[in-house]
Amino acid sequence: MYDLVICDEFGYISYDKEGAELLFNHLSLRAGSKSTIITTNLSFDRWPEIFGDPTLTAAMVDRLTHRAYLINMNGKSYRVEETRKWNEQ
C-alpha cells in the first residue's frame, strides 16, 4: 500500500456505482494509516453528484475528514494569471 495517494481534480468525472464503491473501499482501507490528498473545486455538499449515492458519499467524507487537515484555498487561479502574463509578452 502506498504511503501517499493523491487524487487531483476530484469531481470532474462521475463514478458509476461499482467505481464509487471501489473508491470508498480503497479510502476506507487507508483511513487512519496512510496519507491521502484530494484536490477539488467542489464543496462536500456537491459530492453526491459525483458518486450518485448520498449515503456512500457521507460515509466517504466522514472517513476522509476524520483527523484530517482541510485547506480551503479561495483565490485567483494561477492558470488565469499565467495566461494573462503570457499574452502580454
Where are the domains positioned within the chain?
Answer: 4-88
Specify which residues 38 forms β-bridges with.
Answer: 7
- As a whole number, mean pLDDT of residues 6-31 equals 92
What was the pLDDT predicted at 1? 81
Say if domain 4-88 classifies as CATH 3.40.50.300. Answer: yes
The continuous run of DSSP H or E covering 6 comes out as: strand 4-10
- Cα torsion 70, 3, 63, 66: sign: negative
The whole-angstrom separation of Cα 28 and Cα 38 is 14
Confidence tier at 75 by pLDDT (50, 70, 90): confident
Work out the percent of the chain whose per-residue pLDDT is above 70: 100
- DSSP codes joined into one string, 29-70: HHTTTSEEEEEESS-GGGHHHHHS-HHHHHHHHHHHHTT---
